[in-house]
Amino acid sequence: MNTAQKLLFLGILFFLKPSLGSSQTRDKYLFSNKIFNLQFLYNYHRLGGDYAKTFGDYSSVGFGGMLKTKNNWVLSGEGNFLFGSDIRATSILDQLVTSGGYISSASGNPGNYKVNMRGLSFYLQGGRVFAWNKKNMNSGILLKGGIGFLQHKIGINLNEKNIPQLDENYAKGYDRLSNGVSFNQFIGYNHQSVNRLINFYAGIEFMQAQTFNRRGFNYDEMKEDKGVKLDQSVSFRFGWMIPIYMNTKDENEFQFK
């Protein structure tokens, strides 16, 4: 290679170097990690359908895991504990109330009890994160839906075990224990910070379930209850996530497709 050719070659490298560096600066952000997130969940539920005939608004807390692939597909599983104090089926214990306006204990004094809402749910879900910020392709709009199991009942809690008409066996005739298959859909924002310290998602979740009264007979109505119920809710959901990055190789190996 003569002197002129060497100078030409060095000149080409000189002009290409800035553009190559600029390309790498842009491209290094165009990736998404494979992440497994531990989830701590909270929902506030507004009810509809047959659900709203028995209960008012309630809350739930849960725990689960969510796997996000390099292509931003997500697969998650979770379990939730449901709880509330707003019972709309207020007449279920009316036939047990004495002329004095209370439910009597074994000693004849007013019984000490309370009623509330208790339940649980489990779901498997799939969906995707739709990223728009090239500097953080792990974050974006999260859409997912799933199938699971819903169970709920009217909890009848005796502070003292001295109300025989509401003991463990008789309470089953009033508690409306129901369960069945459930479906849910979520839309919201999923955030996984670049420094990995702030990771959460928040949005709106919709739920529809077909449930059956598993007791089969309501003492207060003195009739069988075997029909299917349509339980519905719309809830605000917040999930705090602890991420486990499952692949931390060079960013350029994870070009987002």
Model confidence pLDDT, tens digit, residues 193-218: 999 899 999 999 999 999 999 998 99
Has residue 14 got a pLDDT over 60?
no
Residues 220/93, Cβ–Cβ less than 8 Å: yes
Model pLDDT, residue 44: 98
- Whether 122 maps to a domain, the answer reads yes
Domain that holds residue 75: 31-86+118-153+179-249
Has residue 219 got a pLDDT over 60?
yes
Has residue 112 got a pLDDT over 90?
no
Q: 147: phi > 0 → left, psi -120 to 50 → alpha, else beta; which? A: beta
- Whether 16 maps to a domain, the answer reads no
Q: Give Cα 42 distance to the centre of its chain.
A: 7
Give Cα separations from 55 to 128, 132, 154, 175, 200 (angstroms). Answer: 33, 40, 8, 12, 29
Query: Rounded to whole angstroms, how far apart are CA atoms 228 and 210?
Result: 6
- Whether 169 maps to a domain, the answer reads no
Q: Are strands 140-158 and 113-130 parallel, antiparallel or unpaired?
A: antiparallel
Has residue 1 got a pLDDT over 80?
no
Read off the pLDDT of residues 82-101 as tens digits, 9 standing for 90 and up. 999 999 988 899 989 888 88
Query: In this predicted model, which residue has the larger pLDDT, 186 or 163?
Result: 186
- Whether 48 maps to a domain, the answer reads yes
Residues 232/9, Cβ–Cβ less than 8 Å: no
- Count the domains in the chain: 1
- Whether 67 maps to a domain, the answer reads yes
CATH code, domain carrying 209: 2.40.160.20
Give Cα separations from 89 to 116, 145, 247 (angstroms). Answer: 11, 31, 52
Residues 124/147, Cβ–Cβ less than 8 Å: yes
Q: E strands, the chain, where?
A: 35-49, 58-68, 73-84, 113-130, 140-158, 178-192, 199-213, 217-218, 223-224, 228-245
Burial class from Cβ neighbours inside 10 Å (0-12, 13-18, 19+) for residue 199 reads buried
- Whether 63 maps to a domain, the answer reads yes
Has residue 56 got a pLDDT over 80?
yes
**Residue carrying structure tokens 């390309």:** 23
- Whether 11 maps to a domain, the answer reads no
Q: What percent of the chain has pLDDT over 90?
A: 63
Cα 83–Cα 88–Cα 93 angle in degrees, nearest 5? 100
Has residue 146 got a pLDDT over 70?
yes
For residue 3, what are its two tokens? 């002197």
- Whether 12 maps to a domain, the answer reads no
